[in-house]
Amino acid sequence: MPTSKLPIVILISGSGSNLQAIIDATGKDKLPVDIRAVISNRPDAGGLQRASRAQLHTAVIDHTQFHDRETFGAALSQCIDNFEPKLVVLAGFMRLLTDDFVNHYSGRILNIHPSLLPAFKGLNTHVRALAAFKEGTVKKHGASVHFVTAELDGGPVILQARLPITQNDSPETLATRVLKREHQIYPQAIRWFAEDRLCLQGNQVWLDGRVLNTPVVVDHS
């Protein structure tokens, strides 16, 4: 097990609640990482204030200042590489990444998505999950931590939190319950990576020296 902390960079676009969960875990010595920087594509992202309060280095690569995804991705990659991270963590980063960007960080870039992948890739996951629940096709919802590949929300899944959908759920209440579970499982997956227990080989997830054929599941039934 490594004795030094894993250098990471965290990318955000919004309020940064998953960023805060990671910051809190490092503060409690539950997460052996060195957050080298927090980078946002939006200068008004609330997560930048969270990072500043934690005395973390921040940077903004505003996507609106670039004429295409390729030039934005190149600038973002250059900024990230200045901090020499061994892991890039997407924490509510709401921009599509180019194949070149993803391939540059292959095997060392994680994302958390608010659904039980491969179900409900993309946006509006809670609305879509509730619609499927009302149709009787799904009973559970949740969040997934996965390695990032060129396919949107299609990388190999590492860890999932599952919870039952209820008749009283609205998209807002469901989102709140799922977000609470995100804050638990994301630091856990990052910890596995930091402790050299987790890696990606080809398109297969390895955990503790074994191929992970199905995600680790935390079921909150």
113 catalytic per annotation:
yes
Give me the catalytic one of 67, 104, 113, 220: 113
- What CA–CA distance (Å, rounded) separates 179 from 169? 14
CB within 8 A of 83, min separation 6: which ones?
7, 9, 36, 37, 57
Beta-carbon-side half-sphere exposure of residue 83 (alpha carbons within 13 Å): 24
Q: Which helix (H) or strand (E) holds 190?
A: helix 171-194
Q: Tell me if 159 sits within 8 A of 218, measured CB to CB.
A: yes
Residues recognised as catalytic: 113
